[in-house]
Structure formats: C-alpha cells, structure tokens
C-alpha cells in the first residue's frame, strides 16, 4: 500500500484499467451483477431448466448476495422470448398501494409536492410483487422440469451456509449502515456488530433461507394469502404506523401484458408497458432513427448531443403521461408513432433545448439488479428486480430476512398529475427489462438491460445503439462510457441546471467542452464508485450462427457464465 493512501481511499477507487472478453456459448449463458448469482442460474440450466427457471434462480441469489439493491420485498418485471413461437411475453410483478393509503392522509401528515415522503416511510411501501412474479414466471414460462424448491436451492444454500461478499456490493452496503441501524429489524439481519460486511467477509442470512423454503413449499399463499410471511409484513407495517392490510396482499396479482415495441434499424425493440418507463427508451430510439444523419464518430460532440436531446425529449413527454393505466389513459400508440418521433427530432438543433422548451422532469437514482439468461433451445429471459432505493425502507418483517421496498416514492403528490398517489394504484415504475428481435425472422437479437432508476431507458438506448449503430459486441457496448441526465418533476424546471448531464470518465475533455458550448450543463468526468449513476447492465446476444455472445458490466461485481 502506498503510504499516502488510506484504506478508505483505496476502497473508494474503481478504476477501469483492464479489458474483458465477451463470453460465447451454444448451450446457454447467464449474466448478472454477482458471480454467485450467475453461477446459480447456470446450475439451473445444467439441471434441465430453461431461461425463465434460471432467471428466477438468479433473482433469488441476488437477494442473498446483493441485498443493497434487490430483494423479494420489492417488485420484478420479466420479458420472456420463446424461440418456438418467436413471441415476446411480458410479466409485470409490481404491487399497488394499500386501500387505505390516500393522498389526503399523506397531505395531512405534512407532505406534499415540495415536501415528499422520506424514503424510510411505511407509506412508501406498496404490496411487494416479486414473490408472486417469481412463481408466476416459473409456472408460465418455465421448463416444467424443476420444482420451485430446486430452482431456489442455490439461493437457499448461499443464505444458509454463507458466501463471501463482493467488493462493489460491500461498498454500497457500507453506505447504508445508518439506515440499517435505524430501520426496524434491519440491524440484526444485515449488520455485524454495527458494521456492514467488507469484501471477502462471509455473510449468512438464515431468515432469508427460511423465507425461500416457505415460498417453495407453500407457494404464493405464504406471501399473500394469510401465510406467515404475509402476517409478518402486515404486522410490521401496521406497528410502524402504516395502513397495509391482509386484504391488500390477497388482492395482488401478477399482470400479464402484451409488451410494447418499436422498430429500430433491422429489429424490433421490446419493453414492458406502462406504468413502467420502458416507453421512454422506445420514443428516444424513434427520435434517434430520425435524427442521426450528422453522426461522424462515436462519442464525438454531435453524437452525444443527439443522444442526450433524444432522451431529454422522450422524458419530457413520458413524465407528463405515464401512470398506472387503470387510473389514467396513457396514449401509447401516439407516443410511439414514427410521425410523433419525427416531430420531436425536428426540435433538435445544434444547441441544447432549454428547460422551458422541455418542461419539468423527475430523473433520480435508485439501486436495482438486471439480469439475463438464455438456454440451449434459444429461449431468453430478461428480468429486473428491485428494492428501489438501496435497501428500500430498510424495514425487515420479523423473521423474514428481507427489506421492504419504497417504490411509492415514485408517486406524485400533485393532485392534478396522472401519477398522483391513490389507493390500490401502482406507481410510475423505473425498472425495465429489454429485449430485441430481428424484424425479418423473429429470431432473438439480444436480451439486455441497464439498472439504475431513471438511468435505465438512457442505458437501454446507449448500449443498444452501441451494438447496432457502432457494431460493438456486448462487452464493448457495456464497457463504453455513458452519460446520465438528471431532472426535476415537481415544481418548475426554470434553470438549465435543473437538467444536469453527468458524463463518465473516458469521454474526452475536448468533447465535454464542446457539449458545454452547446448549452449542456455537464458534470464530469465522473469515475470511481460515483460511476454508479450510470447503471450496471447485462447483455446476451444471439449471433447469426445460433451461438450466444454475452457481456457483463464492469461497474458491478458480476460476469456472464456460459454452459
């Protein structure tokens, strides 16, 4: 160790100073942000499971190994591609607010558009949808060759026997120590003598192992229909002043929907429909297809300017319209029309659009996990699972070993907004898996995704464009530097600083200056662990010869594991 460096300074560094080859296979690949989770998925594939079975095994293992990002106390979304039918299916595993949670209740407690609920509030906890989503994914898309107990076995073993914590997970875990010390039940589960585990420390979570075993034995009833986990959730939320009831859990159902899509170059790009923000990525891709003619070099100022403006225009409209379609009609067909995209593309000039031209946006950050699996039969599953912000509320139902999410933070408290808080309503949702198929054959092009709150559609657009427009392989597409747009939604965005753009280390100072000259309020270059704002992605691509090629984001601990 250099005597000028303290251990903390070394822990804070996350340099990118090596390269990684893409991973190839003909029999299947699993990619996630944790090696042990990818290995869990690969084990399921090797045992006769398909891509959906493997994805659920990965989701459970990530709950164990990266609880600072995900868990069964949150939500999940799935895109499943069937190679036999050439169809893409969507499962929305997101829960609704309690029946008794009204806007009036929250406003009378002193909160409002300018004073949102804190992330630790029990009133930010909708019904967690992940447990039902996992079971329904296996039941609907799975191979039928494995039981739920067999699929959850790798995660159960990791939780019961312990595992060594990975370095990036340890870093973000340590940033939540204050939350875990103060949240109900969290300290005894996720801290040891008041501290988070360090990289290489063995961590066990026997309560979570028990939860997974109960889920595999009793199915959804244990979580939603009066079972022991359901009772623990309701008792904990009500004890802390919340209003969730058993009836709220009983009412929950996974939502099977037709995915939404747009064409981009020679393929269809698929996203989960509202109330998710997947439509934001599709609108931006439509705009890009109408406006990219001036691109000359990858990541020069013109290229980045068009990417940034396409996404800012997309978010401006999505922020106005997207909400739970059961409560507000979302004009999906209109927003995804090529005519609309052409009109938006015409707004792009050589200078950045002003906040007045765009309107307010709410683009914040969260911690999530995205993961993919393909099997030897050519099926693919792109899945995402989240607590929303870090450990979510940090609240642990008694004896369960997982935290409850705080996805309700995504609601608006403006009574005139379509995404306003209301009973039995699903919030605008940031987590989105991605898939792309070839237009002519219907064959899979790629399963992909980039986690990270409102970074997600921005990441989808950037990594997909890297592959399609610049001929990068999945690992190159994930390694490339990114940008991330911020924004405000509540109140008025009257200052250009309300639309900050973070630029990652690796983009030249000359290009940054050129973007500043165009009127973009740039922050950066940003490196080390601050790279977390740019998300962490996974990609598995199908090659023309039928083989698979995968990459895993260097901003995370994970990797792609082939069979």
**Which residue numbers are catalytic?**
368
Distance from C-alpha of 286 to C-alpha of 463, rounded to nearest angstrom: 15
Distance from C-alpha of 126 to C-alpha of 129, rounded to nearest angstrom: 9
Bridge pairing between strands 23-25 and 548-552 = antiparallel
Residue 350: φ, ψ to 5°:
-80, -10
Buried b / exposed e along 485-498 (16+ C-beta atoms within 10 A): bbbbbbeebeeeeb
The H helix count followed by the E strand count for the chain is 21, 19
Distance from C-alpha of 155 to C-alpha of 401, rounded to nearest angstrom: 13
Distance from C-alpha of 551 to C-alpha of 24, rounded to nearest angstrom: 9
Distance from C-alpha of 204 to C-alpha of 223, rounded to nearest angstrom: 22
- Residue whose tokens read 């792109």: 382
- 389 DSSP assignment: S
Sign of CA dihedral 169, 21, 505, 436: negative
Helix (H, G, I), strand (E, B) or coil at 475: helix
CB 77 within 8 A of CB 370: no
List all residues 6 or more positions away from 144 whose beta carbon is below 8 Å from its beta carbon. Answer: none
Can you say whether residue 110 is alpha, beta or left, with left for phi > 0 and alpha for psi between -120 and 50 degrees?
Answer: left
- Residue whose tokens read 């002003």: 354
Closest Cα to residue 468, out of 311, 266, 300?
266
Distance from C-alpha of 464 to C-alpha of 459, rounded to nearest angstrom: 8
Q: Which structure tokens are listed for 506?
A: 């690796």
Helix (H, G, I), strand (E, B) or coil at 11: helix
Distance from C-alpha of 402 to C-alpha of 400, rounded to nearest angstrom: 6
Strands of the 75-82 sheet, one edge to the other: 255-257, 87-93, 75-82, 380-388, 367-375, 28-32, 559-562
């Amino acid at each position: 160790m250099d005597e000028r460096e303290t251990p903390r300074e070394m822990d804070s560094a996350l340099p990118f100073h090596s390269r990684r080859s893409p991973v190839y296979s003909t029999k299947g690949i699993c990619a996630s942000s944790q090696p042990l989770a990818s290995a869990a998925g690969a084990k399921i594939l090797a045992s006769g499971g398909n891509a959906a079975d493997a994805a659920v095994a990965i989701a459970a293992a990530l709950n164990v190994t990266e609880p600072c990002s995900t868990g069964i106390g949150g939500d999940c979304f799935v895109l499943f591609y069937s190679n036999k039918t050439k169809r893409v299916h969507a499962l929305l595993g997101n829960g609704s607010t309690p029946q008794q949670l009204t806007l009036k209740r929250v406003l009378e407690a002193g909160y409002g558009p300018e004073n949102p609920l804190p992330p630790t509030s029990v009133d930010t906890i909708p019904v967690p949808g992940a447990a039902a989503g996992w079971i329904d994914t296996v039941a609907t898309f799975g191979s039928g060759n494995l039981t739920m107990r067999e699929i959850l076995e790798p995660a159960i073993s990791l939780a019961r026997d312990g595992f060594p914590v990975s370095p990036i997970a340890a870093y973000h875990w340590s940033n939540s120590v204050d939350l875990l010390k103060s949240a109900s039940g969290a300290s005894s589960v996720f801290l040891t003598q008041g501290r988070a585990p360090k990289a290489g420390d063995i961590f066990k979570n026997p309560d979570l192992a028990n939860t997974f075993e109960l889920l595999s034995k009793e199915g959804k009833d244990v979580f939603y229909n009066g079972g022991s986990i359901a009772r623990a959730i309701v008792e904990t939320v009500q004890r802390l002043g919340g209003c969730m009831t058993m009836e709220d859990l009983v009412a929950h159902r996974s939502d099977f929907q037709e995915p939404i899509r747009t064409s981009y170059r020679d393929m269809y790009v698929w996203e989960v429909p509202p109330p998710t923000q997947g439509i934001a990525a599709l609108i931006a891709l439509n705009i890009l297809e109408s406006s990219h003619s001036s691109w000359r070099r990858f990541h020069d100022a013109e290229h980045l300017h068009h990417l940034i403006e396409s996404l800012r225009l997309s978010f401006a409209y999505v922020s106005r319209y997207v909400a739970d379609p059961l409560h507000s009609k979302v004009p999906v067909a209109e927003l995804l029309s090529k005519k609309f995209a052409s009109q938006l593309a015409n707004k792009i000039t050589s200078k950045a659009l002003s906040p007045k031209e765009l309107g307010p946006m709410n683009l914040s950050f969260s911690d999530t996990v995205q993961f993919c699996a393909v099997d030897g039969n050519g099926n693919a599953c792109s899945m995402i699972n989240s607590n929303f912000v870090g450990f979510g509320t940090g609240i642990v139902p008694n004896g369960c070993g997982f935290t409850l999410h705080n996805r309700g933070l995504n609601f608006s408290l403006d009574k005139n907004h379509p995404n306003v808080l209301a009973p039995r309503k699903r919030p605008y949702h940031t987590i989105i898996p991605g898939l792309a198929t070839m237009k002519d054959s219907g064959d899979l092009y790629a399963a992909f995704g980039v986690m990270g709150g409102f970074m997600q559609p921005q990441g989808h657009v950037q990594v997909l464009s890297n592959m399609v427009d610049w001929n990068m392989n999945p690992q190159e597409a994930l390694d490339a530097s990114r940008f991330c747009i911020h924004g405000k939604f509540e109140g008025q965005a009257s200052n250009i600083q309300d639309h900050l753009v973070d630029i990652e280390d690796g983009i030249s100072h000359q290009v940054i200056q050129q973007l500043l000259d165009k009127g973009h309020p740039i922050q950066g270059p940003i490196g080390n662990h601050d790279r977390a704002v740019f998300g962490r992605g996974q990609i598995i691509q199908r090659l023309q010869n039928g083989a698979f090629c995968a990459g895993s984001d260097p901003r995370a601990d994970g990797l792609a594991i082939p069979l």
